[in-house]
Amino acid sequence: MKSICFFKLVIVVAFATIFLSGCSSTPDIVVIDDSPVKSNDAHAEENSHKIYLITMDLADDFWKSIDSGCRKAVAEFGDTDYKWIAPDVNEDLPQRICIEQAVEDGAEAIILAASSPTGVNESLEKAAQAGVKINFVDNAAEFDCVAFLATNNALAGRVSVETMKKALTEAGIKSGKIGLAVNKSNVTSTALRVEGFRKIFEDGDFELDETFFMEDDPQRLKNFVAEHPDYVAFFGSNERTALAIGEQVRDSNSKQIVVGFDTSDAILNLLNDGALYATLQQKPQVMGYKGIKIALDALHGTYTEKNVSIDTGIVVLYKDSI
């Protein structure tokens, strides 16, 4: 989570430049990392495979860690012209533009964290028709791929429940209301975590509130937490929601229990400060590293499987384990 990526070029992609049927509004700015990674070997660079990483946006350290894993693989395996691009907001239309931009630029493989299950499928179909190999990381579209590398999110929800129950028991809390938060409703990964949480948390003395959708507005979630001081605990199902909840709990000096997700520096600081009881650490660098390796193997013809799901693992972190 500590890799740093500098973004040097901002391009406003005009709607007329990449035609998307049925869309009439101007797309959002697409931010491009214009420092691609290539093999140091001149001959290898001349024959290198062009691979794009396309994430939901550029905001979270989680995406930077996937990029870090990709870059590690590129440095190790060579034979790759690698670039990371993403829209500045997590929405289908700008991500479709990113996919089509990558295809126009000659991408042979795309590693994609899909913005929604079906919202970018039209662009993925164009990529597939162009012969592009597709790997999904973190969040998959409902579309054929080589491999999908991600946390087992249903299992992560269950692990979150056990972690929350442990915290409540240690605090001597035997009843109360628990808040559940995700960032956006169209993201399958966080939906699965919350669904797993709900299925396992079978305790009649506790009530699980309806899922709160932050919609890329941390202050909205902070306000919700501030308005519910009676809640005994919160579950933040990704980096942004865990950060917003943890900051509000810390700033209000609340004793509410928070179980979060991901391990950016800001999340780890909240954990160290005691604002988070625990956070679940995914392995985004593994997603990026294996995503590149499998893409290269598929391009070389040595990886021929399709639609393979790969669980990249998860670890629960507490204050005394960082």
Which pLDDT belongs to residue 4? 32
Tokens 């990449």 belong to which residue? Answer: 18
Which domains are delineated in the chain? Answer: 9-151+283-310 (3.40.50.2300), 153-281 (3.40.50.2300)
Please give the Cα distance from 224 to 233 (Å, whole number).
13
User: CA distances (Å), 71 to each of 65, 77, 148, 226, in order?
Assistant: 10, 10, 19, 41
User: CA distances (Å), 47 to each of 39, 44, 103, 237, 297, in order?
Assistant: 10, 5, 18, 42, 15
226-239 residues labelled b (16+ CB within 10 A) or e (exposed)? eeeeebbbbbbbbb
Q: Tell me: the pLDDT tens digits for 177-228?
A: 999 999 999 899 999 999 999 988 976 789 999 999 999 999 999 999 999 9
- Burial class of 297 by CB neighbour count within 10 A (0 to 12, 13 to 18, 19+): middle
Q: Tell me: the pLDDT tens digits for 103-141?
A: 999 999 999 999 999 999 999 999 999 999 999 999 999
Say how far residue 305 (Cα) sits from the centre of its chain: 24
Average pLDDT score over the chain: 88
Q: What would the two tokens of residue 263 be?
A: 């391990």
Which pLDDT belongs to residue 322? 81
Q: For the chain, what percent of residues have pLDDT higher than 70?
A: 85
Q: What would the two tokens of residue 95 be?
A: 């991500």
Q: Tell me: the pLDDT tens digits for 136-184?
A: 999 999 999 999 999 999 999 999 999 999 999 999 999 999 999 999 9
Which pLDDT belongs to residue 142? 97
Say how far residue 122 (Cα) sits from the centre of its chain: 21
Say how far residue 264 (Cα) sits from the centre of its chain: 12
For residue 34, pLDDT beyond 50: no
- The packing angle between helices 239-251 and 265-273, to 10°, is 40
In angstroms, how far is the first alpha carbon of the chain from the final one? 13
Which 3 state secondary structure label does DSSP give 220? helix
Please give the Cα distance from 76 to 62 (Å, whole number).
21
Q: What would the two tokens of residue 225 be?
A: 């937490």
User: CA distances (Å), 6 to each of 31, 51, 84, 117, 279, in order?
Assistant: 11, 19, 11, 29, 27
To 10 degrees, the CA torsion angle through 268, 270, 276, 277?
60
SS3 content of the chain, % helix, strand, coil (to 5): 40, 20, 40
Q: What would the two tokens of residue 104 be?
A: 């126009």
Q: Tell me: the pLDDT tens digits for 241-275?
A: 999 999 999 999 999 999 999 999 999 999 999 99
Q: What would the two tokens of residue 320 be?
A: 């005394």
| Cα angle 110-194-246, degrees, rounded to a multiple of 5 | 95
pTM over 0.85: no
